[in-house]
Amino acid sequence: MQKIIFLKYGELSTKKDNRNYFLKILNDNIKFVLNDVNIYYDYGRMFIEPNIDDFEKVIEKLQKIFGIHEIVIAYKSLDRDLDNIKENVINLIKDKEFKTFKVEVKRSNKKYPVDGMELRKIFGSHILKNKDNIKVDVNNPELVINVEIRLKEVLIYFSSIKGIGGYPVSSLGKGLLMLSGGIDSPVAGYLAMKRGIKLEAIYFESPPHTSERALNKVKALAQKLALYNHNIKLHIINFTEIQEEIYKNIPHEYLITIMRRMMYRISALVAYNSNAKVLINGESVGQVASQTLTSMNVINEVVKIPVIRPVCCFDKLEIIDLSKKIDTYETSILPYEDCCTIFVPDHPVINPLKEKCYEYEKLIPYEDMIYKAVKSKQTITISSLDNREFKDLL
Ligand code: ATP
Ligand code: MG
């Protein structure tokens, strides 16, 4: 018998008409991460055959790939003769310690001459005969012995490891994540990837008001996200001129509102050029003045592209929990200033009026400045494979 890994797809297997499309992307995503491993799949299972020493490493990597719901270590045999299957089962359990067990049989090969119920009984009594001091417990067994009789092969396995679920990254297209150095936006990006969205990211910097370190922090966060995403294109926008013009010319209670309208406008243009179909950000209802429902309306109205806010209904503590789970928290809480924190007014408007925004925006040549900012953007590609590079710069 050969020790292998197979994957269960969960939600993916409900995608009847375009299941192949999803599976091909999942297969490509896994191949990218495990480049020298044999992989093949059918509608029910994806099989991975690592070298015998690599199982742990491979499983760790698979646990970061969206679209995988369960990871199973199994023993595969092409021999479907019933007596040989029985012997294989005994060989696999003989060194296991348990007092109670049950057998689960899955017979996806409907032509196999013995049906599932019957097979379960046959295996059960054979196990009882060959091991002492054990009994069957169908409700709460210590060991579940799974036997799957498939068209070509037989799989025997005992337990599974939970995958992270979701859809394979890229299968739903591309989105542009507004990535600040904070806690919320990396979590938002993670959740968007979970639903199959391939990320590009955009960061607004305002040198010299923001430091190189603040930029490195964002790069380090992008790299954490790239672990789930292969690589992430990060667009860096110089926002200094726009921000200074706003600061000089616009009543301070409207600074944030207008600044965010500019960010949205620029993000929408960059998304359009990258063929990204949605913007994604870390806004959360009520968190700050610019995230009241009225503010969100007034800010959002400058773009047509849909804006996804994956953490909009999470409490801050829930967002923090998730950021710890995906290992972005420690980077996010590093102290380096980003452009918003520098230009924060004492009393930002909570219920801005869009008429006022139009009036104030006439005071600055924002269309030209936006054009310039987009034209001079820098784009770098951050890969999950060249780890540590940015961390060392922090
Ligand atoms: P985070 O929300 O990520 O913790 P934050 O609290 O500093 O960071 P907010 O002021 O709450 O950010 O802004 C809301 C959202 O706007 C962020 O989650 C992010 O998606 C986006 N955003 C804010 N600042 C920037 C920036 N400098 N570059 C890109 N996106 C930004
Ligand atoms: Mg926030």
Indicate the burial class of 130 (C-beta count within 10 angstroms; 0-12, 13-18, 19 or more): middle
- Answer yes or no: do 69 and 195 share one domain: no
Is residue 164 within 8 Å of 71, Cβ to Cβ? no
- Answer yes or no: do 66 and 149 share one domain: yes
pLDDT at 387 over 70: no
In the listed set 116, 131, 165, which residue is the last one of a domain according to the structure?
A: 165
> What pLDDT score was predicted for residue 134?
94
Q: Where does the pLDDT of residue 342 fall: very low under 50, low under 70, confident under 90, or very high at 90 and above?
A: low
Q: What average pLDDT does the segment 147-173 reach?
A: 94
Closest among 236, 85, 64 to 146, alpha carbons compared: 85
Question: For residues 58-79, b (16+ Cβ closer than 10 Å) or e, as one string?
Answer: bbebbeebbbbbebbebbbeee
**Which residue blocks in the chain are alpha helix, DSSP H?**
19-33, 55-62, 82-93, 116-130, 184-194, 212-226, 240-249, 255-274, 293-300, 316-325, 329-332, 339-342, 354-361, 366-375
pTM for this prediction: 0.91
3-state secondary structure of 102: strand
Please name the residue whose Cα sits nearest to atom 23 of ligand 1: 180
- Answer yes or no: do 210 and 136 share one domain: no
State how far Cα 24 lies from the chain centre. 18
Please name the residue whose Cα sits nearest to atom 4 of ligand 1: 182
Please name the residue whose Cα sits nearest to atom 24 of ligand 1: 180
> What pLDDT score was predicted for residue 388?
58
In the listed set 100, 134, 165, which residue is the last one of a domain according to the structure?
A: 165
Atom of ligand 1 nearest to the CA of 237: 28
Using most ligand atoms within 8 A of CB, pick from 184, 284, 285, 332 the residue to mutate for ligand 1: 184
Please name the residue whose Cα sits nearest to atom 11 of ligand 1: 283
pLDDT at 173 over 80: yes
Q: 371 C-alpha vs ligand 1 centroid, how far in Å?
A: 22
Give residue-wise pLDDT tens across range 345-373: 888 889 999 999 999 999 999 999 999 99
Distances 182 to 178, 185, 329, 331, 343 between C-alpha atoms, Å: 11, 6, 9, 9, 16
Element spanning 72, H or E: strand 68-77
Q: 380 C-alpha vs ligand 1 centroid, how far in Å?
A: 20
Q: 260 C-alpha vs ligand 1 centroid, how far in Å?
A: 10
- Answer yes or no: do 206 and 157 share one domain: no
Is residue 185 within 8 Å of 311, Cβ to Cβ? no
Alpha carbons within 13 A on the beta-carbon side of 220: 25
CATH number at residue 101: 3.30.2130.30
Cis ω on the peptide bond leading into residue 310 (within 30° of 0)?
no
Atom of ligand 1 nearest to the CA of 239: 27
Closest among 83, 96, 263 to 180, alpha carbons compared: 263
Which two structure tokens, joined as six digits, stand for 331? 């980077």
Residues near 375 by Cβ (< 8 Å), separated by ≥ 6? Answer: none
Q: 255 C-alpha vs ligand 1 centroid, how far in Å?
A: 15
Indicate the burial class of 12 (C-beta count within 10 angstroms; 0-12, 13-18, 19 or more): buried
Q: Provide the residue range defining the domain that includes 229.
A: 174-393
> What pLDDT score was predicted for residue 251?
94
> What pLDDT score was predicted for residue 68?
95
Using most ligand atoms within 8 A of CB, pick from 176, 177, 178, 318 the residue to mutate for ligand 1: 178
- Answer yes or no: do 226 and 150 share one domain: no
> What pLDDT score was predicted for residue 54?
87
- Answer yes or no: do 160 and 207 share one domain: no
- Answer yes or no: do 192 and 147 share one domain: no
- Least confident segment among 161-170, 190-199, 239-248, 344-353: 344-353
Report which of residues 83 and 392 the model is more confident about: 83
Q: 131 C-alpha vs ligand 2 centroid, how far in Å?
A: 59
Atom of ligand 1 nearest to the CA of 280: 20
Give residue-wise pLDDT tens across range 57-93: 999 999 999 999 999 999 999 999 999 999 999 999 9
- Answer yes or no: do 298 and 207 share one domain: yes
CATH number at residue 349: 3.40.50.620
- Answer yes or no: do 200 and 349 share one domain: yes
Q: 106 C-alpha vs ligand 2 centroid, how far in Å?
A: 48
Please name the residue whose Cα sits nearest to atom 22 of ligand 1: 180
pLDDT at 15 over 80: no
Which two structure tokens, joined as six digits, stand for 21? 């499309």
- Answer yes or no: do 306 and 324 share one domain: yes
- Answer yes or no: do 231 and 349 share one domain: yes
> What pLDDT score was predicted for residue 49?
94
In the listed set 134, 165, 196, which residue is the last one of a domain according to the structure?
A: 165
- Answer yes or no: do 298 and 199 share one domain: yes
Q: What average pLDDT does the segment 4-27 reach?
A: 85
State how far Cα 12 lies from the chain centre. 15
Pocket lining for ligand 1, CB < 6 angstroms: 178-180, 182-185, 202-204, 281-283, 287-288, 338-340
Number of domains in the chain: 2
Element spanning 156, H or E: strand 154-165
Give the separation between CA 66 and CA 231, rounded to whole angstroms: 14
